[in-house]
Amino acid sequence: MTESRFLNGAEASRRHGVLAGTYAAALMHADPLADAAVEALHPFHGRWWPMVLKALEEGIAAVPDAPPELAALIASLPPEPNPEDREKMERGAAAVARAGDSAGLVLQCASLMIDYWSPPAMKPLVMTGTLKLSTVHRLVQTNAWWIELHRPGGLRAGQDGYKTTLHVRLIHAFVRRLIHGSGGWDRAAWGEPINQGDLFFQVVGFSKLMIDSLQRMGYWFTAEEKEGYYLFWRHTAALLGVEKALLPYVNETDCGRYWDLWMLTNPGPDAEGIELAATTLEAVAGVGNPSALMHRFQIWLMRGATYWLLGWEVGQKLKVPWTQAGHLLPLIYKPAVRISELFARVRGADRGQAAARAMRKLALGNAALGIVAEGTQVVSAPDRLEALAKFKPAPPAP
């Protein structure tokens, strides 16, 4: 592996020991079971997802023409958690989901933005044009998946959160197939496209970064709720195709170490990452066609939130323009949340009910945009895959 993908190896090993080597190796691993299934499903074109759904809902025997590679993938899916773990997961997910719009702000300004720190991790998005050509669609689809996942019981087998998570995994495999077929991928320099190391870091962004950011906003979590949320994401990670050797690291301590590894060993954002960060904030601020004044306010707010949640160094290197919202949000947002949290505790408010209300509200907001429907088609439509199949990498800049 060239040093463009893994910098400061000696320091990484000194700080994190075995985890540093595990991370470096993970950059060269993909998802063999999903990749094999996609290779076998590709000839079915638009019929592949209904086939997968039927196999999930009725069993693989109900799909006579299902390829054996699909059967192998479904047989490998993680077993249902035991009742005790399921209860912990539900409590943890509800504790986060009740934050509603605040959690949405974390997704847009932190969990998705931090990916742009690593140029190699962003290469699949750059090569396929996924963000530049359909930024709003991708972001809203990601929000829709997150909503389905965090609905009460959303991660249970048979529910839309479960199904869309598997859909995401298969989309990743389709993208890997297309990129490898393009002849434009440099594995030695960038690792595998959508590799295990980058996939695990996305889990860190959805778990540790989410909890840390909500706590910074003033939300309160018990130790049991945090433990349950990491358990929730450990199960989600297994469904997403994160390899078994990495799953034990889905906990508060190791996710923090993994964050440090990511920041230490990746080269930092390049021009494309900086452009994607700007495009993302502009696109989110423009969702719903707000007035010019409201658009300016929203971009001002989100730029400040990026600095607040990710810190000065990340904001500066992503070249996000600084706004005074970065100072004002901690002074206004956090006290307001703390007061709300105090009243909720005094009233004895049920966090599960609050989570259900918040998810309904977010889902209605998404549906009102007319971009995605509810249910198992929220991540990517089959015709999008057909369009992706025709892509060619952009020529290198002179």
State percent of the chain over pLDDT 70: 88
Q: Do residues 119 and 245 make contact, with C-beta atoms less than 8 angstroms apart?
A: no
The count of other CB atoms within 10 Å of the CB of residue 206 is 24
Q: Do residues 358 and 214 make contact, with C-beta atoms less than 8 angstroms apart?
A: no
Q: Name every residue whose Cβ is closer than 8 Å to that of residue 382 and which is 6 or more positions away in sequence.
A: 45, 46, 48, 49
**Residue 267: is it exposed, middle or buried by C-beta count within 10 angstroms (0-12/13-18/19+)?**
middle
The count of other CB atoms within 10 Å of the CB of residue 6 is 21
Element holding 393 (H helix, E strand): none
Convert the pLDDT of each residue in 103-145 to its tens digit: 999 999 999 999 999 999 988 888 876 555 566 667 777 888 8
Alpha-carbon span 185 to 346, nearest angstrom? 56
The predicted structure's pLDDT at residue 397: 39
The predicted structure's pLDDT at residue 183: 85
Whether pTM exceeds 0.85: yes
Alpha-carbon span 147 to 139, nearest angstrom? 12
The predicted structure's pLDDT at residue 45: 77
Q: Band the pLDDT of 362: cuts 50, 70, 90.
A: confident
Kindly list the distances between the CA atom of residue 89 and the CA atoms of 149, 150, 253, 277, 319, in Å, as whole numbers in the listed order: 12, 10, 18, 32, 37
> Is 236 strand, coil or helix?
helix
The predicted structure's pLDDT at residue 371: 46
